[in-house]
Structure 1
Amino acid sequence: MGIYLYKLPDIGEGVVEAEITAWHVSVGDTVSEEDPIADAMTDKATIELTAPVDGVIKSIACEEGDMLAVGGVLVELEVEGEGHAPAAEPEADPVVAETPQPEPERTPLSTAGVGQSAAAPLAPPVKIERKVSQGKVLASPAIRKRAEALNIDLASVPTAHERLTHADLDAYLLSSIANPSTSPNPGAASILPDREASGSAAPATPKAQGSSVASDPLPGETRQKVIGLRRVIATRMQEAKRNIPHFTYVEEIDMTALEAMRKRMNANSGEDKPKLTVLPLLIRALSVTLDDWPQFNARYMDQEGYVSRFADLNLGIATQTDGGLIVPVVQKANSLSIWQLAEEIARLAEAARTNTLATTDLEGATTTLTSLGPLGGIVTTPVINRPEVAIFGPNKIREKLVLEAGEVFARKVMNFSISCDHRVIDGYDAAKMMQDLKARLEDPRSIFIL
């Protein structure tokens, strides 16, 4: 029997690490080639990792939610034959800069001491070798964010591990406090987030609040680890709210004529056509309107200092799945017919629910539409998908009594929300654009007249 080391493969596109979001095996399980082992999530997609050989799982690399570097051992498998795990090589003694020690005093020997050994000086304390990372630094998003807040170059932080840890960052900061003149980043030495620090290199004491050390659960408390897609959503929403000054504008739209037209189109369509929902019609109206308002079909690259506007409407459609919110993209929505839009929306929704979206299905959005359909509520204030500058939120269509020329009529109305990045979009423009969209939806024939 031998050991086969299955390493996290190179996923490509510059990915250097992935989050292990789910394990499909446990230690002791027997697997066959191509059996699922784990799910790994990158910034771009979730991939299923399968067994490369038949064998028995002897060890797994980490827990769900942990990050693993590309090339790191994912699992060890016991296999028939010799396997391919390399023999352990003796490690070279680490080269550690020694602090010069004073020479011990020499004690004269007497005849009374013959046959007795002189007292040996105390051995210096064992030192942990810490090396500065070479090339790409492996660290979790939390550590990278903390280092960015402190203006610390992670490449200058020594570590004894494959990946930087919070302990490495603490040691670096404490060293900066103790030796501010030798620190490459003395400005960071005065701050230790989520940790107490004194002027010495004593161990830090966690704060009662904001500490990374978890307390014991309270009676009746259930905890669920924030990993995978939920962690990505949390991070992106936090970044969006921190960086974008949102404002939301809401307009009430009479959908009576559009709903009547939709029902006629469904009644007159052949069996080869999908059933129309209101969403393809909304997208059609939006694409026609944004031809006149390109500043809403845009991205604000705030770090680079420019706004990108796009001729094509690549529309992100926020889709709820069991794992969380995913935003697949309808590519070139402005060039598709109503029926093509319906087919593409249905395809993307099914792929999102079954976790079969391709990478290209998730890339290139220029703006986003989010809708909960019949559960859409009366008013929404959606959060912008950074670096986009706007997000559209149709709400629930509802019956409403309307007074017209002294008579009361029942109408179907819908509130339509838009959240905008106030750094690049003015409230006046948002109101004017929404009036144009309202006019097209209330006279739906106009969305087919270009």
Structure 2
Amino acid sequence: MGEHVIKLPDVGEGVAEAELVEWLADIGANVREDEVIASVMTDKATVEIPSPVEGKIIWRGGDVGDVLAVGSPLVRLEVDGAGNVKPGETPPQEKKSEAKPEEKKEEKKAKQDASSPARGGGVEAEGRDGGGKPKTNGAAPKTQNGAALSAAPVSAAKSAMPRAEGEKPLASPAVRKRAADAGVDLRRVPGTGPAGRITHEDLDAFFASDGETAAARGTGYVRNMAVTEVPVRGLRRKIAEKMEAANNRIVPITYVDEVDVTALEDLRAELNNSRKEGRPKLTILPFLMRAMVKAISEQPHLNAIYDDEAGVIHQYGGVHIGIAAQTPNGLMVPVVKHAEARDLWDCASEAARLADAAKSGKASRDELSGSTITITSLGAMGGIVTTPVINHPEVAIVGVNKMQVLPRWNGTEFMPRKVMNLSSSFDHRVIDGWDAAVFVQRVKALLETPAMIFIES
């Protein structure tokens, strides 16, 4: 018997690390050659890692959410034969995270017990048992200021009866506001200050006692002290990193204009009714793509990538349009390559194919990279105006807002028209406001007179 170490392979050109998003084989499991053992994410593409040999997993090099460097140990297998670990060579050490399940539970519980207090009530959220009662573990509960509470106020709060009708409790304005915000009737809170004045500590004691129940507070509402920790992993982490890069590097300018798409919608309906078998149903997206191609031919500097570290703008001849798509796992941007070489129907087919691949998690790394300009849309939920975040390192993004039927003045009367806004953002470091306006106005003119989209200039 020998040992075989599987290292994280090079999963893409220029990729130095990848995030572990899923283990598909547990420690102790026997895996076959070419059986997938793990999935990792690089950029926004998920890559499956197969085992090159048959063997039994005796060690794993990370937990879900860990970021591993290319070439680092991923899995250690016990195999028949010599394996690839030479005699006398020290194999990678097991991580503490590979402790027994019972040890993991104890470690997690210890972390929870040491976590910070939740807001609002002043007492620690983890200081309550399953029934909402405070756990003291032999120590007094603490106030919002960290001071220990005496046992007397807690006991008094549990046995407190309402004050007489019309009796006004003594309390400072700050205490009254805090009680009002929490829905607490101060007549039910015993005061330990001079002349029975209610203090913040008295409120803390009341919240920590059985007196915090809905009945004692005089409302049907109960305070929810739960705090849930949601690890930022996988695609969500990549989206966060992308947004952070865009916010830190790009100086955006957003330009919004209304587009009358009544004629476009009439043309779209006619083309859908007469389309040949096998052709996709047209949405407004392929019309927008073709309009952008024509506008970019007049302003090619908008179809570019800005390498701000090198101080170089890469201006592309090919128009590679990213289509921001919401998937069950989060936002992804599949790319329609060379939109300038596609007609209306081809744009529609490719956009639909890529959207399906992204939503099913089958989009490849190549299909999710290489965009030079992006379209984003929230569909029917698109709102009136948005401020799209530029897909760094691109310099422009076009946002589509929802379509509405609104009255518009034609010079003699108001007529119902189908209108929508285009909300487009540009990197103001390299795109001037005038150029941004010219681009949007050109796209607007093409969409409002859709026959112009099909006329070659």
TM-score normalised by L of structure 2: 0.67
Who is 1:87 aligned against? Answer: 87
Q: Map of 1:228-377 to 2, 5 A cutoff?
A: 228-377=234-383
2:425 maps to 1:416: no
Provide Cα deviations, 1:321-357, integer angstroms capped at 9, x if missing partner: 2222111211110120001001110111122122322
Provide Cα deviations, 1:227-279, integer angstroms capped at 9, x if missing partner: 22222211121111111111111001011110110010011111121111110
2:10 maps to 1:15: no
**Contact map agreement 2:11 2:47 (CA 8 A) in 1:** no
1:387 match: secondary structure: coil
Q: Using the TM superposition, give the Cα deviation of residue 308 of structure 1 relative to its aligned residue in structure 2, in angstroms.
A: 2.8
Segment of structure 1 superposing worse, 413-422 or 399-408: 399-408
1:57 match: secondary structure: strand
Provide Cα deviations, 1:177-226, integer angstroms capped at 9, x if missing partner: xxxxxxxxxxxxxxxxxxxxxxxxxxxxxxxxxxxxx9457441111211
Rounded to whole Å, the distance in 2 between the matches of 1:233 and 1:438 is: 30
Q: Using the TM superposition, give the Cα deviation of residue 48 of structure 1 relative to its aligned residue in structure 2, in angstroms.
A: 0.2
Distance 1:73 1:386, change over 3 A: same
Provide Cα deviations, 1:297-327, integer angstroms capped at 9, x if missing partner: 1222222223332222111111122222111
Rounded to whole Å, the distance in 2 between the matches of 1:388 and 1:409 is: 39
The code of the aligned residue for 1:398 comes to Q
1:78 match: secondary structure: strand
Gaps (5+ residues) in structure 2?
94-113, 119-124, 126-225
Provide Cα deviations, 1:76-122, integer angstroms capped at 9, x if missing partner: 2233455443333489xxxxxxxxxxxxxxxxxxxxxxxxxxxxxxx
Rounded to whole Å, the distance in 2 between the matches of 1:425 and 1:14 is: 28
Rounded to whole Å, the distance in 1 between the matches of 2:60 and 2:117 is: 27
Rounded to whole Å, the distance in 1 between the matches of 2:32 and 2:370 is: 38
Q: Using the TM superposition, give the Cα deviation of residue 443 of structure 1 relative to its aligned residue in structure 2, in angstroms.
A: 0.7
Rounded to whole Å, the distance in 1 between the matches of 2:416 and 2:281 is: 26
Q: Could you say what the CA RMSD is over the residues aligned between the two structures, in angstroms?
A: 2.4
Who is 2:401 aligned against? Answer: 395
Paired residues in the alignment total 330
**Contact map agreement 2:320 2:371 (CA 8 A) in 1:** yes
Distance 1:217 1:258, change over 3 A: farther
The code of the aligned residue for 2:252 comes to H
Rounded to whole Å, the distance in 2 between the matches of 1:432 and 1:10 is: 44
Who is 2:54 aligned against? Answer: 54
**Contact map agreement 2:33 2:51 (CA 8 A) in 1:** yes
Who is 1:74 aligned against? Answer: 74
Distance 1:305 1:39, change over 3 A: same
Q: Using the TM superposition, give the Cα deviation of residue 406 of structure 1 relative to its aligned residue in structure 2, in angstroms.
A: 4.1
The code of the aligned residue for 2:347 comes to L
The code of the aligned residue for 2:244 comes to Q
Q: Using the TM superposition, give the Cα deviation of residue 417 of structure 1 relative to its aligned residue in structure 2, in angstroms.
A: 0.8
Distance 1:252 1:14, change over 3 A: closer
2:31 maps to 1:26: no
The code of the aligned residue for 2:247 comes to K
2:4 match: secondary structure: strand
Provide Cα deviations, 1:126-182, integer angstroms capped at 9, x if missing partner: xxxxxxxxxxxxxxxxxxxxxxxxxxxxxxxxxxx9xxxxxxxxxxxxxxxxxxxxx
Distance 1:306 1:79, change over 3 A: closer
Who is 1:441 aligned against? Answer: 447
Rounded to whole Å, the distance in 2 between the matches of 1:422 and 1:90 is: 54
2:340 match: secondary structure: helix
Rounded to whole Å, the distance in 2 between the matches of 1:260 and 1:400 is: 16
**Contact map agreement 2:44 2:238 (CA 8 A) in 1:** no
2:31 maps to 1:45: no
Rounded to whole Å, the distance in 1 between the matches of 2:56 and 2:64 is: 20
The code of the aligned residue for 2:409 comes to L
2:87 match: secondary structure: coil
The code of the aligned residue for 1:340 comes to D
Greater share of helix: 2
Who is 1:186 aligned against? Answer: none
The code of the aligned residue for 2:3 comes to I
Rounded to whole Å, the distance in 2 between the matches of 1:294 and 1:82 is: 59
Distance 1:301 1:75, change over 3 A: closer
**Contact map agreement 2:44 2:332 (CA 8 A) in 1:** no
Rounded to whole Å, the distance in 2 between the matches of 1:216 and 1:86 is: 48
The code of the aligned residue for 2:277 comes to E
Q: Using the TM superposition, give the Cα deviation of residue 359 of structure 1 relative to its aligned residue in structure 2, in angstroms.
A: 2.9
TM-score normalised by L of structure 1: 0.68
1:352 match: secondary structure: helix
Rounded to whole Å, the distance in 1 between the matches of 2:308 and 2:69 is: 30
